[in-house]
C-alpha cells in the first residue's frame, strides 16, 4: 500500500465565529446551528483564527469527552492550515518510517515520547546499529508573515528547555534535531520569531552553533490527507 500521509478523520465544515479560552472555538454550521469545538492548539494562533473563515472539524464518539468536536483545519487567503498540534508528531513519525525525510532516513527503530532526563521527554528517538542515536523534537509551525514561517507564536519556556536538552545530548555524542513542521503551504523560508520570544531565538542559534540540526518542512493539506512536501530554507540571521 502506497504511503499517502496522515489520513484526516471525517470532517464537517463550518464558519469560525470565535476562538476563546485558548482551547475552545465556536463554529456556525451551514444549517445555522452553532457548535463549540475543542481547539487542540495552546499557542496564540496568530493569523490562524480569523472569524468568518471556513473551518473543518472532526467528531469523537467518546462519551467521556466534554466537547465531542475537534477543530482540525482553517482556510485563510492563500492556504489551508492544519491547527491540530497532535498531527505533526504522527505525520513526521510516519514519514520517517517510510523514508520520506532524507536527513532522517535509514534508521531501523523509531520510538516516540522518549524520556531523556528526569524532567524531559523528546518526541522521537531514531536508532540503527552502528550509528549515533538521533533525538528529534517536533514543533508545529502555523505562523507565516510575508512568506516567512516563524516559531513560536507565543513565548515557550518548554520549547526553550527542549533546545537545551538537544544541545546536551549532542554534547554526549548523539544527533539532536529540531524539526519544524509548517502545517500550511505558503512559506518559502523559516525564521525564529524573535519579536515574540527573543530567548527562544537566541537559544535556537546557540543550539545550532553547538551542533543541533534544524529541519523545516511544509505540508500539503486537503480534506483527506496531510503529507510532508518540501524542505524550507532556514534563516537564523
Residue 8, C-beta contacts closer than 8 angstroms, at least 6 positions apart: 58, 72, 73, 223, 224, 225, 226
CA distance 68 to 62: 7
CA distance 37 to 124: 29
Q: Identify the three-state secondary structure at position 51.
A: coil
What is the reported pLDDT for 81? 98
What is the reported pLDDT for 118? 87
CA distance 135 to 82: 25
**Mean of pLDDT values over 14-43:** 96
pLDDT band at 109 (very low <50, low <70, confident <90, very high): very high
pLDDT band at 1 (very low <50, low <70, confident <90, very high): low
Burial class (CB in 10 A: 0-12, 13-18, 19+), 17: middle
The whole-chain average pLDDT of the chain stands at 96
Query: What DSSP designation does 32 have?
Result: S
On the question of pLDDT at 84 being above 90, the answer is yes
pLDDT in tens, 67-76: 999 999 999 9
Give the whole-number percent of the chain exceeding pLDDT 90.
96
pLDDT in tens, 158-174: 999 999 999 999 999 99
pLDDT in tens, 139-163: 999 999 999 999 999 999 999 999 9
**Mean of pLDDT values over 115-129:** 95
| CATH code for the part of the protein at 6-81 | 2.40.50.580
For the entire predicted model, the pTM comes to 0.95
CA distance 237 to 228: 26
What is the reported pLDDT for 186? 97
pLDDT band at 53 (very low <50, low <70, confident <90, very high): very high
- Residue 213: how many CA atoms within 13 Å on its side-chain side? 11
Query: What DSSP designation does 45 have?
Result: -
Delimit the domains of the chain by residue range: 6-81, 87-234
**Mean of pLDDT values over 52-68:** 95
Residue 169: alpha-carbon gap to chain centroid? 22
Residue range 87-234 forms a domain whose CATH class is alpha beta
On the question of pLDDT at 79 being above 80, the answer is yes
CA distance 218 to 124: 19
Helix (H) or strand (E) holding 149: strand 148-151
Nearest to 159 by CA among 5, 30, 67, 43: 43
Give every strand in the sheet of 175-182, ordered side by side.
6-7, 225-231, 213-221, 175-182, 134-141, 120-127, 109-117
What is the reported pLDDT for 182? 98
Nearest to 214 by CA among 138, 120, 110: 138
Nearest to 169 by CA among 108, 113, 210: 210
Amino acid at each position: 500500500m502506497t504511503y499517502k500521509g496522515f489520513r484526516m478523520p471525517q470532517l464537517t465544515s463550518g464558519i469560525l465565529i470565535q476562538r476563546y479560552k485558548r482551547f475552545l472555538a465556536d463554529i456556525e454550521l451551514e444549517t445555522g446551528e452553532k457548535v463549540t469545538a475543542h481547539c487542540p492548539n495552546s499557542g496564540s494562533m496568530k493569523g490562524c483564527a480569523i472569524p468568518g473563515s471556513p473551518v473543518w472539524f472532526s467528531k469523537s464518539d467518546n462519551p467521556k469527552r466534554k466537547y465531542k468536536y475537534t477543530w482540525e483545519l482553517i482556510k485563510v487567503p492563500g492556504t489551508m492550515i492544519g491547527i491540530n498540534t497532535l498531527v505533526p508528531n504522527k505525520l513526521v513519525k510516519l514519514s520517517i518510517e517510510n523514508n520520506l525525510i532524507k536527513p532522517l532516513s535509514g534508521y531501523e527503530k523509531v520510538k516516540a515520547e522518549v524520556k531523556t532526563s528526569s524532567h524531559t521527554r523528546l518526541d522521537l528517538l531514531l536508532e540503527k546499529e552502528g550509528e549515533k542515536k538521533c533525538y528529534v523534537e517536533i514543533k508545529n509551525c502555523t505562523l507565516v508573515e510575508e512568506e516567512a514561517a516563524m516559531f513560536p507564536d507565543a513565548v515557550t519556556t518548554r520549547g526553550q528547555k527542549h533546545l537545551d536538552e538537544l544541545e546536551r545530548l549532542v554534547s554526549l555524542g548523539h544527533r539532536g534535531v529540531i524539526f519544524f513542521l509548517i502545517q500550511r503551504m505558503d512559506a518559502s523560508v523559516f525564521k525564529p520569531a524573535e519579536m515574540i520570544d527573543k530567548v527562544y531565538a537566541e537559544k535556537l542559534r546557540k543550539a545550532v552553533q553547538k551542533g543541533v540540526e534544524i529541519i523545516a518542512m511544509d505540508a500539503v493539506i486537503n480534506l483527506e490527507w496531510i503529507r510532508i512536501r518540501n524542505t524550507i530554507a532556514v534563516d537564523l540571521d
